[in-house]
């Protein structure tokens, strides 16, 4: 069936309506082209230390050579658990160059969450920064990991790295004590990997676009996160789509070097997609390892011009609240990209007033390498929509029976394109795609006459906290392990700072249970953004006649108890 595509008429004249990922034989061809084109360009700046594209090329080759020497079968999974430090991108690229699949891990994961991803992915080797080694130590014996590459924050910062490591470890005390001395773990230090890798031969493996590249985990409605399989074609397509979409502005920037602020964590699909965009165009990434340190973040921004600033609404809002932020030089800022969560009109307006650069919003999913829709990059007005489909992406809106809906009719948004996943790891992928091959997003949206999409709600009960997917089933299954809880249910509630926040309704075991008890248990067992911000005690939960919790009733109760939200 032919898809009506009114959005194509909205494309700027110099943006192609489609892209062709098959122009590359594999993802490594794309990366190597970037290295050859921009060899002496600065690729990253972190804490004042610069690395060129040539530096990253050679470092990733050393990592690839070392990995190949470990004897893993082709296509094996290698885990990467780091914040935005200089070694992140060369490690990821090295894993891919060696012929392996990378599974990025959120460094803030608790032991339970980390164990699940390592076991589900089947990873045998993990690269981890020592700030997070304690969490790995708690679960490594329950996984298939048989080699650990341990890195320090400053490992690629030369002499300055010694100072950085000393401050992080001894002054700020950001490295919890750990012991990974058991010989069976085969712990190797990151600098030793580089030293040995440079002496080892590299055998470029034969690869194709159909092979897996990234196993990116996202939340799952069953209470366990799912690994979205992203092929090399998916990744290459996302790189070409983003490059094409940004070109009306990036082609007009006459600076020698274009700087992109990289405060979004590189393990998140949004930031990974942006790294592809940046490398395609020779950008320099201003790496921000800890964006929650807002004063430090502002100080970093004051040290060099920045041209492209992608972030989530929470981050934009946090910066605007900093008294010194308005004093920065915004004369170079040309693109402000909002994604990961809905940007509010108030934040967009204030951002424009302070920086002079309009905020452009888009929509994407892990399952589409963060590609999906975007507002036209030259738009000066915030319109509250998620924009139009990017090149080579088709979107339809369907009802519960799968019938396509028309203009201004709300239904489930489903999309198809060369960037869209082939499915989930260790899953039968039942009901993931429509009969026509469109991926079911679970998001409720409508399309207007021009092809602009408006996101209305989520079909599932997912909560979006600062751009991160949080699923009530997962939180409930963890919290029910607490002896103080008889029953519980989780919903998302509006939150000015995070977009949404987690609220938990608890049937307590006795009157001695406090809200602080509940929150402490959550902090011990869940990543911070998944922890309930609000706790409310109830005597019973509203349930259907088959015992299913009626979360809609709880949402109605929250609104009834907080009439100011209506």
Q: Is the pLDDT of residue 221 over 50?
A: no
Report the C-alpha gap between 31 and 101 in whole angstroms.
Answer: 15
Report the C-alpha gap between 361 and 55 in whole angstroms.
Answer: 34
Task: State residue 341's pLDDT score.
Answer: 65
SS3 473: helix
DSSP secondary structure letter of residue 289: S
Evaluate whether 32 touches 60 at the Cβ level (below 8 Å). no
Task: State residue 220's pLDDT score.
Answer: 42
**The CATH number fitting domain 27-207, selected from 3.40.50.980, 3.30.930.10, 3.40.640.10, 1.10.10.2840:** 3.40.50.980
Candidate from 266-270, 339-343, 357-361, 496-500 with smallest mean pLDDT: 339-343
Burial class (CB in 10 A: 0-12, 13-18, 19+), 430: exposed
Confidence of residue 458 (pLDDT cuts 50, 70, 90): low
Task: State residue 457's pLDDT score.
Answer: 64
Most confident of 222-231, 310-319, 357-366: 357-366
Instruction: For the chain, give the percent of residues with pLDDT over 90.
Output: 73
CATH fourth-level superfamily of 465-565: ANL, C-terminal domain (3.30.300.30)
Q: Is the pLDDT of residue 273 over 60?
A: yes
Candidate from 245-259, 314-328, 356-370 with smallest mean pLDDT: 245-259
- Taking residues 458-477, what's their average pLDDT? 81
Owner of token pair 């009969």: 435
Report the DSSP pairing between strands 335-338 and 359-363. Answer: parallel
pLDDT digits (tens, 9 = 90+) for 233-249: 999 999 999 999 999 99
- Structure token digits, residue 55: 């530096």
pLDDT digits (tens, 9 = 90+) for 184-199: 789 999 999 999 999 9
* Per-residue H/E/C for 209-227: CCCEEEEEEECCCCCCCEE
Q: Is the pLDDT of residue 223 over 60?
A: no
Report the C-alpha gap between 446 and 408 in whole angstroms.
Answer: 5
Q: Is the pLDDT of residue 546 over 60?
A: no
Written as one string, the DSSP assignment of 89-139 is: HHHHHHHHHTT-EEEE--TT--HHHHHHHHHHHT-SEEEEEGGGHHHHHHH
The region that residue 35 occupies, defined by phi over 0 for left and psi between -120 and 50 for alpha, beta otherwise, is alpha
Instruction: For the chain, give the percent of residues with pLDDT over 70.
Output: 96
Candidate from 139-143, 224-228, 371-375 with smallest mean pLDDT: 224-228
Confidence of residue 342 (pLDDT cuts 50, 70, 90): low
- For the chain, the distance separating the N- and C-terminal CA atoms, rounded to the nearest angstrom, is 42
pLDDT digits (tens, 9 = 90+) for 154-169: 999 999 989 988 888 8
Task: State residue 222's pLDDT score.
Answer: 42
- Taking residues 227-231, what's their average pLDDT? 97
Task: State residue 565's pLDDT score.
Answer: 67
Task: State residue 443's pLDDT score.
Answer: 86
- Range list for CATH 3.40.50.980 in the chain: 27-207
Task: State residue 481's pLDDT score.
Answer: 87
Which CATH number describes the domain made up of 1-15+233-460? 3.40.50.12780
Report the DSSP pairing between strands 359-363 and 373-374. Answer: antiparallel
- Range list for CATH 3.40.50.12780 in the chain: 1-15+233-460
In this structure, the number of other CB atoms found within 10 A of the CB of residue 321 comes to: 11
What mean pLDDT is reported for the chain? 91
Task: State residue 548's pLDDT score.
Answer: 67
- Range list for CATH 3.30.300.30 in the chain: 465-565
- Taking residues 516-540, what's their average pLDDT? 95
- Taking residues 65-94, what's their average pLDDT? 96
Q: What is the pTM of this model?
A: 0.85
- Taking residues 281-299, what's their average pLDDT? 94
Report the C-alpha gap between 100 and 112 in whole angstroms.
Answer: 25
């Amino acid at each position: 069936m032919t898809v009506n595509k009114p959005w194509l008429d909205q494309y700027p004249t110099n943006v192609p309506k489609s892209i062709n990922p098959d122009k590359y034989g594999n993802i490594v061809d794309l990366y190597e082209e970037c290295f050859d084109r921009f060899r002496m360009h600065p690729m990253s700046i972190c804490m004042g230390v610069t690395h060129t594209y040539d530096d990253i090329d050679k470092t990733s080759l050393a990592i690839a050579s070392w990995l190949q020497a470990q004897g893993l079968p082709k296509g094996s999974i290698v885990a990467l658990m780091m914040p935005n430090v200089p070694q992140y991108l060369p490690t990821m690229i090295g894993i891919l160059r060696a012929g392996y699949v990378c599974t990025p891990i959120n460094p803030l994961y608790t032991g339970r969450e980390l164990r699940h991803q390592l076991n589900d992915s089947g990873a045998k080797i993990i690269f981890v920064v020592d700030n997070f080694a304690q969490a790995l130590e708690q679960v490594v014996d329950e996984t298939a990991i048989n080699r650990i590459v341990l890195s320090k924050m400053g490992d690629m910062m030369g002499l300055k790295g010694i100072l950085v490591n000393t401050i992080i470890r001894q002054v700020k005390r950001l490295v919890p004590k750990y012991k990974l001395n058991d010989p069976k773990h085969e712990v190797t230090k990151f600098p030793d990997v580089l030293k040995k890798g440079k002496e080892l031969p590299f055998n470029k493996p034969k690869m194709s676009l159909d092979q897996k590249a990234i196993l990116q985990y996202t939340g799952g409605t069953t209470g366990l996160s799912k690994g979205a399989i992203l092929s090399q074609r998916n990744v290459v397509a996302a790189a070409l789509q983003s490059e094409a979409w940004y070109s009306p502005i990036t082609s007009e920037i006459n600076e020698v070097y274009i700087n992109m602020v990289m405060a979004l964590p590189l393990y998140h699909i949004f930031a990974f997609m942006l790294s592809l965009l940046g490398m395609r165009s020779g950008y320099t990434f201003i790496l921000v390892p800890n964006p929650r340190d807002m004063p430090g973040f502002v100080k970093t921004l004051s040290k060099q011009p920045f041209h492209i600033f992608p972030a989530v609404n929470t981050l934009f809002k946090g910066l605007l609240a900093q008294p010194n932020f308005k004093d920065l030089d915004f004369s170079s800022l040309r693109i402000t990209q909002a994604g990961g969560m809905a940007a509010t009109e108030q934040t967009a307006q204030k951002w424009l007033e302070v920086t002079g650069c309009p905020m452009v919003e888009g929509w994407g999913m892990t399952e589409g390498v963060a590609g999906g829709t975007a507002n036209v990059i030259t738009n000066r007005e915030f319109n509250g929509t998620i924009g139009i489909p990017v090149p080579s992406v088709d979107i339809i809106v369907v009802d519960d029976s799968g019938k396509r809906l028309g203009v201004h009719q709300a239904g489930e948004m489903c999309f198809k394109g060369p960037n869209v996943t082939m499915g989930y790891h260790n899953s039968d992928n039942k009901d993931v795609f429509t009969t026509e091959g469109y991926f079911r997003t679970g998001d409720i949206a409508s399309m207007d006459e021009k092809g602009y999409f408006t996101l209305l709600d989520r079909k599932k009960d997912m909560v979006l906290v600062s751009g991160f997917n949080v699923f009530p089933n997962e939180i409930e299954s963890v919290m029910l392990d607490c002896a103080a809880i008889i029953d519980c249910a989780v919903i998302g509630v509006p939150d000015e700072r995070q977009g949404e926040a987690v609220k938990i309704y608890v049937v307590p075991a006795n009157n001695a249970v406090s809200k602080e008890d509940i929150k402490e248990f959550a902090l011990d067992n869940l990543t911070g953004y998944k922890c309930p911000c609000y706790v409310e005690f109830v005597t019973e939960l509203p349930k259907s006649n088959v015992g299913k919790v009626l979360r809609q009733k709880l949402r109605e109760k929250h609104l009834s108890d907080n009439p100011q939200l209506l």
